[in-house]
Amino acid sequence: MKAVRTDRELECPEIDAGLRARGVELVTLPDGISEEALALEVAEADLLMMCYTPITEPVIAAATRLRGIVKYGVGIDAIDIPAAMARGIPVVNVPEYAEETVAEGAFALMIALARRMPEIGRAIQSEGWVWPAQRWLGRDIAGATLGLVGAGKIGRSMARMAGQGFRTRVLGYDPHVDTQTMAAAGIEKIDDLHAMLRQCDFLSLHCVLNDATRHVIGQAELACLKPGAILVNVSRGALIDEAALVEAVLAGRLGGVGLDVYSQEPLTRQDHPLSPLFGRDDVILFPHLTFFTAEAMRRLSDDTLARCFEVLDGKPVQIRSHDPRLRAQTRNVVFA
């Protein structure tokens, strides 16, 4: 059997070794591979694994032997799921491996910005010491108000860390999560996004990307935030109108921005919507690695291999995600 794994820059030695141990011919492909080259590689593949590379209808049409598409990660926006469903090819992701891990990463960005750690760290490296001066003045998270856009598992983990750990007031905007579920997680449900934003000292994004959430934070929403508010996004880059974000940062309306995700990845120092934010003390640009810990990668490897073996063994593929796009599948899947 043949398996193709895209995005080989993301090293997954346990996944690769596990497949080869089963006698699978594994081909790994680089980020940025063209649609045509990918279609040629998957033409005789039984299994396709992807992380970031778009899996388009022409690619799926070329894969005449394909038994399943496994996203070794969470987001499925880059996969043409209707095209796969039309062929009876199951699509599965690994939704649970990094819920706590990503929430920890979001909190790390938030506290680093609140305490001005990046710029103080750079200053002490260049100057040897810095004295308490107004320019280094940080702020407390305890007693502040954190707003969450999205109150799924990662958002609720973030709420627990902030509320129970730092006595932060946590507000949540999520039309798909009810008041009782939010309350159990220590979140006050707010139905009006703009009303929530006006109360936020900190804002963290934790929702899926779809037509309803694309640019959910745009120029009007950024204007609603308290002056000096800190914004963190570890979810999907296109949740934010990046041109509006750059404008708000350059105008000094935000107290800090921490980003781990971008509308175009990889992020580049030039010719990217967010290129103007490079080198700023009030911005942390992280390379989509808040998920990347030893423990999370071990869980990812175990779950990915389990799904791959289901595909290769001809068994129904277990869908653990509650994403309606995956739950709409009716062939060769079983729902957990």
Residue 140's pLDDT is: 97
Tens of pLDDT along the chain (336 residues) come to 999 999 999 999 999 999 999 999 999 999 999 999 999 999 999 999 999 999 999 999 999 999 999 999 998 999 999 999 999 999 999 999 999 999 999 999 999 999 999 999 999 999 999 999 999 999 999 999 999 999 999 999 999 999 999 999 999 999 999 999 999 999 999 999 999 999 999 999 999 899 999 999 999 999 999 999 999 999 999 999 999 999 999 999 999 999 999 999 999 999 999 999 999 999 999 999 999 999 999 999 999 999 999 999 999 999 999 999 999 999 999 999
| Token pair 């490897």: residue | 301
Exposure of 120 by Cβ count < 10 A (0-12 exposed, 13-18 middle, 19+ buried)? middle
Distances (CA, A) of 243 to 87, 113, 238, 275, 277: 39, 21, 11, 10, 11
CA distance 307 to 51: 14
Distances (CA, A) of 132 to 10, 28, 135, 138, 228: 41, 51, 8, 10, 20
Name the packing angle between helices 13-21 and 294-312 (round to 10°).
30
Residue 206's pLDDT is: 98
* Token pair of 290 as six digits: 């808040």
Residue 306's pLDDT is: 98
Task: Please tell me the pTM assigned to this model.
Answer: 0.92
pLDDT, one tens digit per residue, over 160-189 is 999 999 999 999 999 999 999 999 999 999
Active site residues: 236, 265, 288
Distances (CA, A) of 277 to 8, 248, 256: 28, 11, 11
Residue 108's pLDDT is: 98
CA distance 298 to 302: 6
pLDDT, one tens digit per residue, over 75-107 is 899 999 999 999 999 999 999 999 999 999 999
| Token pair 């869980």: residue | 299
> Is there a contact between 52 and 6 (Cβ–Cβ < 8 Å)?
yes
> Is there a contact between 272 and 262 (Cβ–Cβ < 8 Å)?
yes
CA distance 260 to 254: 17
Distances (CA, A) of 310 to 54, 68, 85, 307, 329: 23, 9, 17, 5, 16
